[in-house]
Amino acid sequence: MRVQIWNGPPNAGGTIVFGDLTTNRFASCALVNIYRDSETSVVNNQRPIQAARRRRS
């Protein structure tokens, strides 16, 4: 996972204040027993959300 934080829209003059597209900050992931749904399928459990852990520098 690569992270960039911008101080404005990237396509309208914003600049990067943290991160890059080179450093991989992903360490691991795990299921958190939370699922995404929509207004039309509120009982759908086919779209799990995962927690991502970052690498320590």
For residue 32, what are the domain limits?
4-54
pLDDT of residue 57: 64
Residue with tokens 């829209």: 9
Three-state helix/strand/coil letters over 5-55: EECCCHHHCCCEEEECCCCCCEEEEEEEEEECCCCCCCCCCCCEEEEEEEC
Please state the pTM of the whole predicted model: 0.54
d(CA 54, CA 57): 9
Residue-by-residue pLDDT tens, the chain, 57 positions: 899 999 999 999 999 999 999 999 999 999 999 999 888 877 888 899 999 888 876
Domain count, the chain: 1
